[in-house]
Amino acid sequence: MPGFELIGIEEKKAISKLFDDGGVLFAHGFNKQRKNFHVREFEEELNLKFKTKYSLPVSNGTSAIKIALKSLGVKPKDEVITQSFNFIATVEAIVDIGAVPIICSVDETLNIDIKDLRKKITKKTKAIIPVHMLGASCNMSEILKISKKNKIPILEDNCEAVGGKYKSKFLGTLGDIGVMSFDFAKIITTGEGGAILTNKKNLYTFCKEYHDHGHQNNPKFPRGNDTSKIAGFNFRITELQGVIGKVQLKKLNFILSENKKRYEVLNKNLSDFFKIRKIEKNSTQNYETFIIIEDDSKIRKKILNILSKNDFGTRNLPDAIKWHCAYFWKRAVGKKGVKNSLSTNKLLKTCIAIPIWLSKDLKDYQKLSDLISNLKKY
Ligand SMILES: *Cc1c(COP(=O)(O)O)cnc(C)c1O
């Protein structure tokens, strides 16, 4: 379920306190006018929650990818490999740097196809971005092996699987650097927002400086006389978002367990009748989506009718496929990228992603499962 379903009284109270405590400042300075540094506290809590050395909340997930790519030293004309089932943001971040997105197909996990990934590596490859789509992990052990063998860094796009794990580690913390999104549709939300996670101090330092006009926040000097080494930009997150992020993060465990209960009703009742998305072994989803793969277009149409009539809708597949498959992004990935996404488009056309909503209870999911499984029973 997206965080917007569970945003309300606690967040409102925390925001109200922010105003009582001195108003909407920004992440630095004004020590006398304020009681808290909310963005810095959010950063600390992200570290604790996801067991990572460094976190940096930033303005959104897309900028997080761009900043992370820059921290890895990706330059114009370098190649960056990512997957065909994706959100366009990943490719936009690559293109915005002037680098070349190389599109890799997906397998039945709907995430990056390892065999194709091996084929796409060239001397120009400067980074690989596996994307844990719709709550489920990529094959991280193979990806990390490929990274080590070829000495190419891994940037995990974990915008859609916050809270998910691979071999007991949180997704977004297995590669060299990882990113999260807290936009309105993600599992926890600050309206807009994102974060970068890493265990590497040099990457963290670059990201911290770059996202804040190059500021080093040198404790020896006031900010007006701060030191700097690199030219940066402004991708800072606001204190308002920091306040909300801290509250939302506390709700993550609850959301994960509620998601799982609903997901399991669907899984138990539908997996005997339908082909469902393959989940990577040794991984734990954040259970925000359940995906059916159905070749028969008539049956697909019937499922979509049921979902619409009962007010469940779908999550990106098929309703927003044009924003989630590189086949439709010639403007950004070129002819070659479109060609590399042909098989993915064919596969995704057969997928129906059922969203997990908090506003629907287990009985609603049972009823939904019955309606859908009946299509195959009789
Ligand atoms: C949401 C999302 C992003 C971008 O996040 P924003 O915070 O909306 O900019 C990037 N990649 C994927 C896979 C996403 O789903």
DSSP-derived letter for residue 163 is T
pLDDT at position 303 over 90: yes
DSSP string covering 42-82, please? Answer: HHHHHHHHHT-SEEEEES-HHHHHHHHHHHTT--TT-EEEE
Regarding the beta carbon of 190 and ligand 1, being less than 6 Å apart is answered: no
Of 132, 162, 179, 183, the residue with max ligand 1 atoms within 8 A of its CB, to mutate for a pocket test, comes to: 183
Q: 181: CA distance to ligand 1 center in Å? A: 6
Whether 62 lines ligand 1, by a CB cut-off of 6 Å, is yes
Distance CA 219, CA 223 (A): 9
Q: Whose alpha carbon is nearest atom 2 of ligand 1?
A: 159
Ligand 1 binding pocket includes 181 (Cβ within 6 Å): yes
**Is 194's C-beta closer than 6 angstroms to any atom of ligand 1?**
yes
User: What DSSP line would sit under 244-267, residue for residue?
Assistant: HHHHHHHHHHHHHHHHHHHHHHHH
User: What is the residue with the minimal CA distance to atom 10 of ligand 1?
Assistant: 89
Q: Is the C-beta atom of 61 inside 6 A of ligand 1? A: yes
Q: pLDDT tens digit string along 136-189?
A: 999 999 999 999 999 999 999 999 999 999 999 999 999 999 999 999 999 999
What are the tens digits of pLDDT across the range 270-287?
A: 999 999 999 999 999 999
Residue 159 CB–ligand 1 contact under 6 Å: yes
Q: Which residues, 6 or more positions from 58, have their beta carbon under 8 angstroms from its beta carbon? A: 64, 67, 193, 194, 195, 196, 207, 211, 235, 236, 237
Predicted TM-score (pTM) above 0.85: yes
Which region among 4-8, 37-41, 48-52, 365-369 has the lowest average model confidence (pLDDT)? 4-8
Average pLDDT over every residue of 195-218: 97
Pocket test for ligand 1, best of 159, 179, 180, 241 (most atoms within 8 A of CB): 159
Q: Residue 30 region, left (φ>0) first, then alpha (ψ -120 to 50), else beta?
A: left
Portion of the chain with pLDDT greater than 70, in percent: 99
Residue 161 CA, ligand 1 centroid: distance in Å = 11
Least confident of 19-33, 34-48, 62-76, 211-225: 19-33
**pLDDT of 36:** 80
Residue 131 CB less than 6 A away from ligand 1: yes
Most informative mutation of 84, 137, 160, 323 for ligand 1 (most atoms within 8 A of CB): 160
Residue 102: enclosing H or E segment and its boundaries? strand 100-104
Quote the pLDDT of residue 369: 98
Give dist(CA 273, CA 299) in Å, integer.
Answer: 12
Distance from Cα 239 to the centre of ligand 1, integer Å: 21
Number of Cα atoms under 13 Å in the Cβ half of residue 218 = 12
At 124, the pLDDT band (50, 70, 90 cuts) reads very high
What are the phi and psi torsion angles at 222 (to 5°)? Answer: -65, 155
- Closest-CA residue, ligand 1 atom 5, reads 61
Closest CA to 52 of 207, 160, 190: 207
